[in-house]
Amino acid sequence: MKKTSRAVLTAAIAATLLSGFASTATATAAAPASAAGELGPVNKQGLAAAIAALPNDGATAALVRVDDVDDSQDWAGASGVRDRRTGAPADSGARVRIGSVSKVFNTAIVLQLVAEGRVDLGTSVQYYLPGLLPADYPPITVGRLLNFTSGLPSMAVPGSDEFAWQYEHRFDRWTPEEYVRASLTGKELLFTPGTKQQYANINTVLSGLVIEKVTGSTWEKQLRERITRPLGLHDTYAPGDAVGVKGLHQRGYQLVTEPGGRERFVDVTRWNVSDRFASGDMISTTGDLERFTAALFAGEVVPGPQLENMFTLPQVPVFDGDTDPSDDEAATRSMGLQLSLLPDGTEVWGKTGARPGYVNGVGGLRDGSRILVYSIGSTDAKSDDQHPLVMPIIIAAMGL
């Protein structure tokens, strides 16, 4: 592998995981799945130092795991508190809300059904879910849901981007069908299906409904029977309408500034995430996520021919809302994952996910030789700004 400067490589990997595995170089349509870099040894002292000064105003805790082909490079650590009120220390085995990392599990289930001949990626959503989408929409294939090229618009409720609104409505219950209708009724497609890429939860909510329709059972049951039970992921589940988190768990907090400038921490652990459904409702641990990611990359979750869909990018630009092709960026999302190319061509694949109180990431090299999982108890988890803890974690984990 040709050498790359430490500074350039550090910046590239940092941008990769901080931005939800956004591309740091021009992505090819289907980058070689075998590309893998020669990373330096895991900086275990650096990892410990990166998460040492917790809790603080920005994070209550950090849980990190690194899995390497060389077992001597493996590392797991936790810092901060599990509960601000009691001061109970953070626990690396505690459950957390994983947000959009749930999409990786959902995609894996759909691709299992494809391997079984029960779902066809080229068949329309309208075939599987008749009458749910607006009648004037063109056929939208399941494959275009999975790689976010459907053109479907996101749900937009006035004020819903603000924490105050979200907190007020934290116990609202949604069915997936209600979410779909609220997102699509009276709205036009953003673009012709298959021509651009736009990341949105509506795609995964619909593919979760396809799972339920084809199997005749719940998404939660399919998750349990197809992934969590076979892999022994005893701490991973989808909560449905339950507002709490079972067993040992990290409590989540949001730092709120009140009128007059006074700041206070709001406990956001109890929350009904039924509006997220298959796109972001899951609960897990860093240990379970490490095991799942390693098994997925190794072909133990999705059969090889179908797994390649998770490491292949659509040959379309990212939707930017204009018709000027000169500023188009190449799509970086596959079915369930996202790609970053380092300057020397090394591929990093993964997924991030956030819920109020929790910022998470999973990812690594395509060959599975090194995998990183982290969960940060962010006190502003849905902020557009990258969390300052993530960069030093990545730098140390990747041996930069």
Q: What is the DSSP annotation of 187-236?
A: ---SS-TTS-B---HHHHHHHHHHHHHHHTS-HHHHHIIIIIHHHT-TT-
Answer yes or no: pTM beyond 0.85: yes
Check residue 259 and give its pLDDT.
Answer: 87
Q: Which two tokens stand for residue 348?
A: 């990093």
Is residue 30 predicted with pLDDT exceeding 70?
A: no
- CATH annotation of 6-397: 3.40.710.10
Q: How confident is the model at residue 341 (pLDDT cuts 50, 70, 90)?
A: low
**Taking the domains of the chain in order of start, what are their residue ranges?**
6-397
Please name the amino acid found at residue 189: L
> Across the chain, what does the average pLDDT equal?
90
Check residue 307 and give its pLDDT.
Answer: 98
Cα 286 from Cα 359, distance rounded (Å)? 12
Check residue 14 and give its pLDDT.
Answer: 42
- 51-86 per-position pLDDT tens digit: 999 999 999 999 999 999 999 999 999 999 999 999
Q: How confident is the model at residue 342 (pLDDT cuts 50, 70, 90)?
A: low
With a CB cutoff of 8 Å and minimum separation 6, the contacts of 259 are: none
Is residue 126 predicted with pLDDT exceeding 90?
A: yes
Give percent helix, percent strand, percent coil of the chain, each to the nearest 5.
Answer: 30, 20, 50
End-to-end CA distance of the chain: 15
Check residue 344 and give its pLDDT.
Answer: 55
- 236-267 per-position pLDDT tens digit: 999 999 999 999 999 999 999 988 889 999 99
Check residue 131 and give its pLDDT.
Answer: 97
Check residue 354 and give its pLDDT.
Answer: 96
- 181-197 per-position pLDDT tens digit: 999 999 999 999 999 99
